[in-house]
Amino acid sequence: MTGNEIDNLHLLREKSAHITKAARSATVANILAPLLCIPMFKDEVHPLNLAIWLGYMLLAVLIRTWMVFQLAHQAEKILNPQRNLKIMSYAIGIVGFGWGLGWILMAPDLLMVNRMIYVYMTTAAMISSMFAYSVNTTTFFAFTLPIMIPSLSTVLWPMNIFPWPFIVGLASLYIVVLSIAKNFAKTFEDSVRLRFRNEHLYQELATERDQSIAANVAKSKFIAAASHDLRQPMHAVNVYLELVNLDNLPELEKKSLSKIKSSITTLNAMFDSLLNISKLDADAMQVSHRVFSLDELVSTIRDLTEAKASSKGLIFNMTHAALLVRGDKQLLQQIISNLVSNAIQYTESGQVEVRFESEQDCLVIEVNDTGCGIAESEQKYIFNQFYRADNTRSLHDGLGLGLSIVQRLCNLIGADIQMVSEQGRGTKFKIITPFLASTNNKDIHAENPLPKIQNSDRRLQGKYIAVIEDNPIIVEAYRQTLASKGAYVQVLSEYENELDDQLATIDQIDCIVSDYRLSHTTGDLLIQKLRDNYNKEIPAIIVTADTAPSHINFFAHLNVQVLHKPISFRDVAAAIEKIIGAPNNLSQ
């Protein structure tokens, strides 16, 4: 069936349901009206004529009532609306014919007062039919024409039942009723068609919504699955590259290896972006509200981005007041780092500037660059995932996720992000955060931040690190890298019997580093076994390639540090140093 045929079928069903409902509600009136005629007309109408009329009306009303209630049971599932409408037209028409028959059998014998009463009864029935039956022309005329034709024809009768001006007025009334009925029928059809269009539109929107949700879930699963398979070998590459001493290599190999390390750094950034998207999709990021010094945040961002700006010959400035901030330093760092990296990427000359200010006691951040800018036609798309402007694709090796992550993180912390850009003249991003910022320690109602822990090449000297990993390459990389930091490495088996034998000879474990997915079990179970064996909460780290939202939520509830592959040796070592140095703060 075509779309129009389906709409017409729905319209016929609505008409059938409307008429059936109206006819059912008028059943009592159809029974009482003929009965009321008995006391009013019995002394004036010939008994035989009254008996014939009452007999016919009784039969017609019974047939009508039976048909109406039979169809009323099918109102919720009308399979053949055309047939139903024909039945209703017949059922209603035979009652209309009965009222018309009353003009012939009773009206000539009635006094003028009772004739007027009969006119009132029939015209009232006709007027009520305007809204009950006019939605279907056949049904409407099946009821009204048998009533009106005999009443209007009385002007031709020899006994002069009514004067002709009265008949003209009755005819005019019928014309008005026809006009109102036509308008009501049109309004009904327009209303029904509009409702159908709205329902179709709603269904289309619901389908698009479901497809969007399904696509988003599929995207998250794809990202998690793809990154899992890629993170394992990338993790080994990162670890081994950290072990290579560039100073011992010839100049040509040194340059080649430097380019490889640069490419690996770019790949790591891409994986981090995919991981952030997975975390945001999983709602695994929580906003903390802790007091920190703005100096710390500025110093961290400078360390992360200044070298990259200098390598391109750009001036990199950061200006800020001596503020204390109550908010989430890690999320702010991620937002600013993404904006600064984006600015450096698209700026070939000039400068990148970051400004921190307090406006109405809230922290406000501005990131300005003198780069290529963003065309006005593309500005509304730049926060979309995987979007990259056509005129800058050759300048960017990323995935087009940086600004999307920035916007989602701003939404997460309740910040407002504004952008002003002009193609060829640079871009300015302004982040208005809800985080309290003040120069007065008392105003911010918090203690001074803790001092930073100094780094050391031999920070793991004398520490016993348990490593659980089913990949021999990764095991050897852990052994070499951790040993170079002064740690004693214990490579443990994932098999229960072998592990029990090993634990019987090991007196101390200071930290556990484990993969999550092993050949026959998972890292969280083995970590718990080790903790139970030593009866203490041993600091633990899970290094995994799993970034699915469900796993991210699961890891968030474990009392372990979770690192996602690929990850450099520096990050693994820093995590071990931090977790050993602050064992009571494992969830940081």
| More confident site: 9 or 136 | 136
Residues 6+ apart with CB under 8 A from 418: 429, 430, 431, 432
304, 268 in Cβ contact below 8 A?
no
Beta bridge partners of 489: 465
Supply the pLDDT for residue 284. 54
Tokens 């952008």 found at = 419
Query: Helices (H), strands (E): how many in the chain?
Result: 16, 12
Mean pLDDT, range 111-129, rounded to an integer: 87
Give the pLDDT confidence of 345-403 residue by residue, as tens digits.
888 889 999 999 988 888 999 999 998 888 777 777 777 654 555 455 445 554 455 68
Per mean pLDDT, which range of 200-214, 232-246, 350-364, 562-576 is the poorest?
232-246
Encoded amino acid at 539, one letter: P
Encoded amino acid at 361, one letter: D
Q: Where are the beta strands (DSSP E) in 190-282?
A: none
Separation CA 116–CA 110 (nearest Å): 9
Encoded amino acid at 172, one letter: S
Residue 217 has pLDDT above 90, yes or no: no
Distances (CA, A) of 221 to 35, 192, 404, 407, 524: 74, 43, 19, 22, 22
| More confident site: 207 or 534 | 534
Supply the pLDDT for residue 265. 64
Residue 71 host element (H or E): helix 47-72
- Top-confidence range, 4-18, 266-280, 377-391, 439-453: 4-18
Tokens 């694709």 found at = 393
CB atoms within 10 A of CB 404: 21
Supply the pLDDT for residue 458. 60
Residue 585 has pLDDT above 60, yes or no: no
Mean pLDDT, range 256-262, rounded to an integer: 71
Confidence of residue 49 (pLDDT cuts 50, 70, 90): very high
305, 333 in Cβ contact below 8 A?
no
Supply the pLDDT for residue 1. 56
Supply the pLDDT for residue 448. 40
Residues 6+ apart with CB under 8 A from 468: 491, 492, 494, 512, 513, 514, 515, 518, 523, 526
40, 10 in Cβ contact below 8 A?
no
Residues 6+ apart with CB under 8 A from 475: 467, 469, 491
Per mean pLDDT, which range of 126-130, 198-202, 215-219, 358-362 is the poorest?
215-219
Residues 6+ apart with CB under 8 A from 153: none
Q: What angle do CA 250, 252, 258 make, to 5 degrees?
A: 95
Mean pLDDT, range 466-477, rounded to an integer: 82
Separation CA 429–CA 427 (nearest Å): 7
Residue 582 has pLDDT above 50, yes or no: no
Per mean pLDDT, which range of 4-13, 80-89, 100-109, 303-312 is the poorest?
4-13
Separation CA 501–CA 518 (nearest Å): 19
CB atoms within 10 A of CB 81: 19
Instruction: Read off φ and ψ for residue 102, nearest 5 degrees.
Output: -65, -30
Residues 6+ apart with CB under 8 A from 1: 9
pTM exceeds 0.95, yes or no = no
Separation CA 518–CA 531 (nearest Å): 18
Domains annotated on the chain, with CATH: 3-204 (no CATH), 285-438 (3.30.565.10), 464-581 (3.40.50.2300)
Closest CA to 470 of 511, 512, 516, 505: 516
Residue 404 has pLDDT above 60, yes or no: yes
Supply the pLDDT for residue 290. 82
